[in-house]
Amino acid sequence: MKIVGWFYFTGISLWSVKEVFMISRKILIVIIILSIFVNCGKSRSKEYISAHKINGTIGFPKDFLWGTATAAEQIESTPDSNWFEFIVDAYKNKKFLTISPGEAKPGHINSLGNYPWEVIRVKTNHDEVFKEDISLMKEMGLNSYRFSFAWDRFFPKEGMNEPDPKAIAYYKKIIEELKEKNIKPSATLFHFSSPAWFWKEKNGKRGWEREDAIQQFSIFVKAVVKNFGKDVTHWCTLNEPMVFVAAGYMQGVHPPLEMRPDVAEVTQVIVAILKAHVAAYNIIKDNDKLLGQKSEVGFTQHTRDFEPYRNYAILDRIIADRIEQAFIWDFIDAFKTGKLKVSNTSFEEEIPGLKDSLDYLGINYYGRFYIESNILNPTKFKVHMNDPGDKFERINNLAWAHYPLGFYNILTKSYQRYRLPIYILENGTADSADDDILRQEILVTHIYEMWHAMNDAKVPIKGYYHWSLIDNFEWAEGFEAKFGLIKVDYKNNFKREKRKSADIYKSIIQNGITPELFEKYAGLYK
């Protein structure tokens, strides 16, 4: 990502101050140093979690939605998707490498060769055992479930007039099962994956850059809404659009495996997915009018608390701010103004129908990233997933640094900026241990920070969905990173086994967070 401009302007304006007022060099240096510590960029907090004490048990509103989240491509068999095409290529050509934990190698899927073809083909076997999976949700006391409809299952071939009846029948069974168990469905329409045919070149363009992209996506959404728009009234149009763009078009680690290093070269993709949101929003709202009902429609953004690697380095602080704006807020700002403005470029485009087309904001949160700048070349900064010098830091199997306080920061900031109700549509960790202490800690400390945002900062948070229900196919990380409250035993016919965190989640849903539970896990940060 290119970060230019602002820093230089700061420097230039300070030196011109000198010329104007003829102040001495010593005084000027003092001014610069003071300005560094007083108001430049964000600083890195020494705390990991908000206050360390709670008075009594923390409870949540009665109508709060508690769920887990999944995505079709990660748990189902999706033979006609673009992701599956990539998986087959990686498998056949033995592209199994990774650079380091959490850092994927472009065009590769981590350790895919360690798994038999049957696992790769059916992922978690959810297609066959979805009833068992839904029963596990019920056992945990969940009242909602976020999943995605697979576009490629509805329209496996280009130009089909009607969706594949097999797809409709499959998702009907899932929705019926959820209904029977009193679990409210929350459905995502675009979660990274799409039909392989959508990526064949048409007039020199493919995927979201095709001229008919929005028309094709709308055909899928209309089919979903026609069949399920009465039973599903909670919709997430797009999952983590900026991750899709960065991983797929800039870093080449997700399909379409492209490497366009400059954000200016991907602006049209961002525009297209914003238009896809507007199309889906309108289709759902038209259906609501027809049926006399009110659905909630939003999208979900991947958030991280971006912080300076070195607190004393002004450039680390400034760039951390700039990246946060470009990666998180630019996209959401577009819904406020109706216009996409891409930071660090001169790009601006009005998107018809976008303004105010959000009933809620979805937040996915997985911890913090540190920015280390290079003063000699400010566009070449490093993004660290953790800080080896920090002895309290909690790190997961993908080397991500967890940071509960950052969750509070992101939630309060999101509400201050947009004043929309919020759903946490993802939060969790990769912890493969059977006694998954890190996941237990993530659950307790993050739900605590969410409560803190709801109670002290009055952020209207309406639901929390843990990522994920079961271990699954973690994109370029393959099957190695385990995010499940429930373990999937790939060596033993996909057997489901509850991890300890599933019981902790259940007890929080039923009893809230007791002071003992809080002390046990928050105490780790002391």
Contacting residues toward ligand BGC, per CB under 6 A: 71, 74, 239-240, 243, 302, 364, 426, 467, 474, 483
> Least CB distance from residue 78 to ligand BGC, whole Å?
14
Q: Give how far Cα 224 sits from Cα of 27, 112, 230, 231, 484, Å.
A: 66, 32, 10, 11, 27
> Least CB distance from residue 60 to ligand BGC, whole Å?
24
> Least CB distance from residue 193 to ligand BGC, whole Å?
10
* Identity of the residue, 185 or 478, whose beta carbon is nearer to ligand BGC in the bound complex: 478
> Least CB distance from residue 452 to ligand BGC, whole Å?
23
* Identity of the residue, 220 or 483, whose beta carbon is nearer to ligand BGC in the bound complex: 483
Closest Cα partner for 300 from 371, 256, 234?
234
Coil, helix or strand for 172? helix
* Identity of the residue, 74 or 82, whose beta carbon is nearer to ligand BGC in the bound complex: 74
For residues 511 and 390, give the distance between their C-alpha atoms in angstroms, rounded to a whole number. Answer: 34
For residues 484 and 501, give the distance between their C-alpha atoms in angstroms, rounded to a whole number. Answer: 9
* Identity of the residue, 363 or 371, whose beta carbon is nearer to ligand BGC in the bound complex: 363
Closest Cα partner for 158 from 191, 192, 189, 196?
196
> Least CB distance from residue 136 to ligand BGC, whole Å?
18
The dihedral built from the CA positions of residue 251, 253, 258 and 264, taken in this order, carries a sign that is: negative
For residues 440 and 418, give the distance between their C-alpha atoms in angstroms, rounded to a whole number. Answer: 31
**Nearest-10 crossing angle of helices 165-180, 213-228:** 50
Instruction: Take residue 430 and report the two structure tokens written for it.
Output: 């990769």
For residues 167 and 81, give the distance between their C-alpha atoms in angstroms, rounded to a whole number. Answer: 13
**Phi and psi dihedrals of 426, rounded to 5?**
-155, 140
* Identity of the residue, 108 or 302, whose beta carbon is nearer to ligand BGC in the bound complex: 302
* Identity of the residue, 194 or 364, whose beta carbon is nearer to ligand BGC in the bound complex: 364
> Least CB distance from residue 247 to ligand BGC, whole Å?
9
For residues 426 and 56, give the distance between their C-alpha atoms in angstroms, rounded to a whole number. Answer: 27
**371 with 323: CB under 8 angstroms?**
yes
> Least CB distance from residue 332 to ligand BGC, whole Å?
16
As a whole number of Å, the end-to-end CA separation of the chain is 36
* Identity of the residue, 233 or 239, whose beta carbon is nearer to ligand BGC in the bound complex: 239
> Least CB distance from residue 23 to ligand BGC, whole Å?
50
* Identity of the residue, 7 or 475, whose beta carbon is nearer to ligand BGC in the bound complex: 475
The dihedral built from the CA positions of residue 458, 459, 464 and 466, taken in this order, carries a sign that is: negative
The residue to which tokens 């800080």 are assigned? 387
Instruction: Take residue 296 and report the two structure tokens written for it.
Output: 């909630």
> Least CB distance from residue 517 to ligand BGC, whole Å?
25
Closest Cα partner for 196 from 103, 97, 79?
79
> Least CB distance from residue 151 to ligand BGC, whole Å?
15
**274 with 213: CB under 8 angstroms?**
no
> Least CB distance from residue 69 to ligand BGC, whole Å?
8
**267 with 334: CB under 8 angstroms?**
no
* Identity of the residue, 50 or 472, whose beta carbon is nearer to ligand BGC in the bound complex: 472
* Identity of the residue, 357 or 364, whose beta carbon is nearer to ligand BGC in the bound complex: 364
* Identity of the residue, 167 or 247, whose beta carbon is nearer to ligand BGC in the bound complex: 247
For residues 138 and 307, give the distance between their C-alpha atoms in angstroms, rounded to a whole number. Answer: 39
Q: Give how far Cα 249 sits from Cα of 151, 242, 475, Å.
A: 20, 10, 15
The dihedral built from the CA positions of residue 165, 166, 172 and 175, taken in this order, carries a sign that is: negative
